[in-house]
Chains A and B, each alone.
Chain A
Amino acid sequence: MSEKKRDYSLLGEDARQAVEQGLANADWYQTGVPRKELKALMKRSDGPAIRDTLVWLGAMVVFSAIAAWLYPSWWSLPFFLAYGVLYGSASDSRWHECGHGTAFRTQWMNTAVYQIACFMMMRNPVTWRWSHTRHHTDTLIVGRDPEIAVMRPPDLLRLVLNFFGLYDAWFALIDMMRNASGRLSAAEKTFIPEMEQGKAIAVARVWVLIYIATIGLALVTRSWLPVLLVGTPRLYGAWHHVMTGLLQHGGLADNVTDHRLNSRTVLMNPVSRFIYWNMNYHVEHHMFPMVPYHALPALHELLKHDLPEPTPSILAGYREMVPAFLRQLRNEDYFLIRELPPTARPFHGGLSNTGGIAAR
């Protein structure tokens, strides 16, 4: 059994120790890539994201229109489910990529899609930009990373509830109401600069008005339809982004400075990759966040000699990840260690800060 419990608070003991041990804002490993090749991959264009955004939003319009037309018949169900995945899951990857500013070359397009996706995901665009920045600086550093999806020991009930968006949406609602009242939490204040905090409050207030209008419309029309189209798809459509998101870092090392140890690349089917916008190439993304989503497969080909072999499927990922979660219930220091091919450089920084027992 592990002796020391992890303290994930951004204001706690592990946060302090991370700074002391040099894990905060550390130098992370990067595979050497000639600049000319990297520049070619980093190159931005509007075309792929414009195409994908038209397909995404267009499909949402079509599915929601058919669902609304068929409602309240049960025939509307498959259309609501399809609409839900585009609202409650595809918007996660759009939030992510546009938050990085890499989806489109033209920045106002990134901003526009980012704002829409944030609303659908119930993630304050200011708060989450800064928390995601911290996630990239201190990926899976306990006490520093505010976006660790599965803390140890894993809260299995939370994991299950989140497949229906319940846990995340509940706390998102609380955050929204708190921000709308003019307040930020102590944790939020650790990573949102003071000059940005007012914007977080302003956005929350706009969102509250939108939800009030939606609920008002539902009451006036005596119909669930407005609520089924705005807000609740974040719940009934969440399953895909949770399914893919858990694989990003689930069961892997924490407190390391090499993304090959704490991130997972998973090969996925083309439908999932459209919904996920290629974030299944997660090691590659963390190593080179400047590379836009549409170039990640090419980046993978360039780096694969130096990376662990990608997990061959979502199912294979869960086959290794779930047993790791279950082991972590008994021993929170347990994690899966990635194997490197003979062509790879050794892991950077070592495993001394993981405290852990590695499988494989």
Chain B
Amino acid sequence: MSEWIEACSVGDVDEEDLIRFDHDGKTYAIYRSPDNEFYATDGLCTHEQVHLSDGLVMDYIIECPKHNGRFDYRTGEAKGAPVCVNLNTYPTRVEDDTVFIQVK
């Protein structure tokens, strides 16, 4: 059963950046795109489980800080070696300057 969880406030995430969000033993990454949309994915790189929150956001790409693996955070798609497995993504919505993500 999925539920909407309050993740952060809009102001917590800089434009073209991300933050880490932990909930119920799991870690997520919350992104703010260059066009001010919010996205959410699993917070660990699928390659070697490194926290993506230390990585670099460029346009719609998140680059893992350990080995420069890249994902499109809108879709979770792995964009090339060393990442081969896509990230899980989660729906988001913004209400009253608060970002919510839908988790299972």
Contacts and interface: CB of A to CB of B under 8 A. Distances in A.
B48 A25 contact: yes
Interface stretch (A128-136, A237-245, A252-260, A271-279): A128-136
A37 to B, nearest CB: 13
A290 B81 contact: no
A129 B69 CA distance: 11
A330 interface: no
Contacts of B56: 39, 42-44, 290
Contacts of A137: 48, 66-67
A101 B63 contact: yes
A349 interface: no
Contacts of B80: 101, 107
A144 B26 CA distance: 29
Nearest to A30: B54
Contacts of A89: none
A137 B82 CA distance: 12
Size category of the B interface is 10 to 19
Interface residues of A, number: 22
Nearest to B70: A101
Contacts, number: 45
B48 A130 contact: no
Interface string A178-201: 000000000000000101100000
A100 interface: yes
B61 to A, nearest CB: 9
Chief secondary structure at chain B's binding surface: loop
B94 interface: no
Given A39-B17, A105-B58, A100 B48 contact: no
B17 A130 contact: no
A290 B70 CA distance: 11
A137 B58 CA distance: 23
Given A25-B48, A102-B68, A133-B81, 20 more contacts: A39-B17, A39-B56, A42-B56, A43-B56, A44-B56, A100-B68, A107-B79, A129-B81, A133-B67, A133-B82, A136-B66, A137-B66, A193-B84, A195-B84, A289-B66, A289-B67, A289-B68, A290-B55, A290-B65, A290-B68
The 6 closest A-B pairs by CB, nearest first: A42-B56, A133-B82, A101-B68, A133-B67, A100-B68, A290-B65
Interface of B: 17, 47-48, 55-56, 58, 63, 65-68, 70, 79-82, 84
26 contacts: A25-B48, A39-B17, A39-B56, A100-B68, A101-B68, A101-B80, A102-B68, A105-B58, A107-B70, A107-B79, A107-B80, A126-B81, A129-B82, A133-B67, A133-B81, A133-B82, A136-B67, A137-B66, A193-B84, A195-B84, A288-B65, A289-B66, A289-B67, A290-B55, A290-B56, A290-B63
